[in-house]
Chains A and B, each alone.
Chain A
């Protein structure tokens, strides 16, 4: 038998597909473990609301939830998969609108929040990290950066969020407490709406930023210290190059690689890691609807969000590999060629 040898690229693709399949399987099993017959429940609701005969109502309920207990389980799974491939995520059990609609409405808010907080925490962490390595003999500066990174790592984002909510929101009334924008504004591309959206995003974004900046600081400082111990830095110093030039062209350029590599994954994990903070601020992103779906046992919505989060993670992993190969050709992942 000929042994099949996969290239690195094919291997990654296979792993990604298997991961997505695993997530689908988990959510498929999940909906069947749910206590109570939600089909009967929905069907009798339809009978009452629209006066349909029970059999018809049951059928409608079964298509809405993509769940038909009369066929064998493997066929149920197959039907569910083929529905997914056609972009059909089913109907939300409690919101009564297609799951894909909910996700399309929520995704921009989560992306907005993620981009702001990632930009803030990355730029802050990178600058402080590299400066902490460069000025490592300045005691006060090191103590300051150390203190910040320890604090940042000791407190989870949702607890920072809670503190910000209580003191800057409730007590000082500087920022709104919940939601993504003021409902009196008109959603669209106009100044009042954009300003209100920004104002609503500040506290949750600050919570994410303060909680993750420590990680970036440590990563960047470690990378910078590593670069500083390299011979070429010694050579540059011996040649009498300007400090500024060494810092920018020699140190920063090389040290920024590892953190940049981690960026894609950090971005993707915000899609699923934002549950608690979004929930705390009732910020209508993916995480908030996940919390909602769990609280209200809306299993179709839960399935949809889980799937979207998984696909994002898989894609981000591939992007991260591609970026790694692109900025450092010595890493041969088989991607980016």
Chain B
């Protein structure tokens, strides 16, 4: 049974709604995630991003015209927040996706083939895991003058895949020694079948949850790096908003500017919480033992 079919069957059995109904936190997480998805897709159409600056209107408190007040140049905070969600979500998901693909490739190869190749891959992974991750990511981000969120996601993924690859390898190793795989081998089923129809479905839960974890880590790392001010992403996004508010425009000294400063922080924390909570729900969805 393929992973896809299995998940579909669980959906049909209403397991998904069952989990969401009694796991309120996961439900809230999903709700928030959908909200952020709307914010990134439909939001920019509703809120016009102002490019013209008017310093007379700088650091205005929230009002009917500007729901979250204005920034250091008198531009609407809410519009920036809405437009800024795009980059962050793109960075998070592109780095998670690239991490997943790389880790899946390396982890499966190492786990299935074993031997010399496995030893060397594991050694390389060990090295990657011991290298100080933040400094090198920051250096690469700064050095390559990253201009778009996709490349940023890629740089982050370069340091996230090794951990996941090691996890996938040990999952594969555990599965390999299970009876049903041995039976497949006795039945002389093609390797393609064993990999895609027997092994993969069993690691889908592990992959899904780690996808979310990598996305969370990527958000933290990217915002931190942008806060240092070394990535010249020109478009407004939450990290750059924070960089401007916290280090360059003195917004931390102006009480009226607090909405401008706090809005991106609140969004980042909510997004992190939503991902965490949803991952908790997914765990329950995949693991019948966790369901009461």
Contacts and interface: CB of A to CB of B under 8 A. Distances in A.
Contacts, number: 106
Given A30-B139, A156-B224, A294-B142, A170 B252 contact: yes
A13 interface: no
A153 B135 contact: no
Interface in B266-292: 268-269, 272-273, 276
Contact of A159 (B139, B142, B228, B268): B268
B225 to A, nearest CB: 8
Q: Could you tell me the dominant secondary structure of chain A's interface residues?
A: helix
Measured as residues with beta carbon below 8 angstroms from the partner, the interface class of chain B is 20 to 34
Interface string A249-292: 00000000000000000000101110110011000000000110
Contact of A156 (B135, B143, B220): B220
B230 A273 contact: no
B132 A310 contact: yes
Interface stretch (B91-99, B106-114, B122-130): B122-130
Interface string A20-48: 00110010001001100000000000000
A275 B135 contact: yes
A82 interface: no
Contacts of A15: 123, 126-127, 130
B229 interface: yes
B138 interface: yes
A154 interface: yes
Given A159-B269, A162-B246, A279 B126 contact: no
Contact of A22 (B131, B138, B139, B143): B131
Measured as residues with beta carbon below 8 angstroms from the partner, the interface class of chain A is 35 or more
Nearest to A146: B25
Contact of A313 (B130, B138, B227, B269): B130
B55 interface: no
Given A33-B143, A150-B276, A166-B261, A290 B227 contact: no
Interface in A165-190: 165-166, 170-171
A165 B268 CA distance: 18
Nearest to A312: B132
Nearest to A292: B228
Contacts of A195: none
Nearest to B255: A171
A158 interface: yes
Given A19-B127, A309-B132, A313-B132, A275 B273 contact: no
A66 B258 CA distance: 47
B274 to A, nearest CB: 9
A166 B265 CA distance: 12
Nearest first, the 4 closest Cβ-Cβ pairs linking A and B are A272-B132, A309-B132, A154-B272, A276-B224
Given A33-B143, A153-B272, A155-B268, 11 more contacts: A18-B123, A19-B130, A30-B143, A34-B143, A154-B272, A154-B273, A155-B269, A156-B223, A156-B224, A159-B223, A170-B252
